[in-house]
Amino acid sequence: MDQNKSGLKDLTVSALFAALIFIGTNFLKIPLPGGQEYIHLGDGFIFIAAMIVPLPYAMAAAAVGAALADILGGYAFWAPWTIAIKALMALTISLLCRRKRTLRFHTVYAMTIATLINTLGYYLAGIVIYQSVYTGLFAIPFTILQSLSAVVIYLLSYRFIKKLADKY
């Protein structure tokens, strides 16, 4: 496949993942105590995108899909933070897992790092947004729970992802 067709294919698949991340975040969610926290499927799609799509495209899909969910879901003030956090999550998963595509220590390690990025990123964002170190502390367990749900989504779809990645 020539370079132009390959780039167009990567862009198309990335756009599809951005849409899945948006839908998984904005529509497929379970509210949690605290008002703004909820469990959603979007981060699971970020992990999947990072395993299938080339690095810059996976980061863009994660950032765009999640930021659109923030903006259209009424949380636009979180969007700049979400762009950075979700792109870093995709970067981490992609760098540590993309070439291996197996469920081993490096995958668990990468998802643990992505969970830490997500948790610390939103905690720091909360400090800036709410101007309080303590307000963000309440959200930490829920952010960890959200990231763990993404890991579960990934693990449940692992075999399908591997087959799809091998075809891609």
pLDDT at 6 over 80: no
Mean pLDDT score, 103-126: 88
∠ CA 128-130-132, rounded to 5°? 85
Q: What tokens appear for 114 in the block? A: 């992505």
Using pLDDT thresholds of 50, 70 and 90, give the confidence band for residue 35: low
Task: State the pLDDT confidence band at 8, using cuts at 50, 70 and 90.
Answer: confident
CA distances from 6 to 11, 12, 19 (A): 9, 10, 20
Residue holding tokens 């951005």?
18
Rounded average pLDDT over 25-44: 80
Query: What pLDDT shows up at residue 23?
Result: 95
Q: Which amino acid is at 48?
A: I
Q: pLDDT tens-digit profile of 132-154?
A: 888 778 888 888 888 888 888 88
Give me the percent of the chain exceeding a pLDDT of 90: 43
Closest residue by Cα to residue 160 from 54, 58, 84, 52: 52
| pLDDT tens track for 37-95 | 778 889 999 998 998 889 999 999 999 999 999 999 888 999 999 999 999 999 999 99
Return the closest-CA partner of residue 47 out of 24, 78, 67.
24
Evaluate whether 12 touches 52 at the Cβ level (below 8 Å).
no
**Position 133: which residue type?**
V
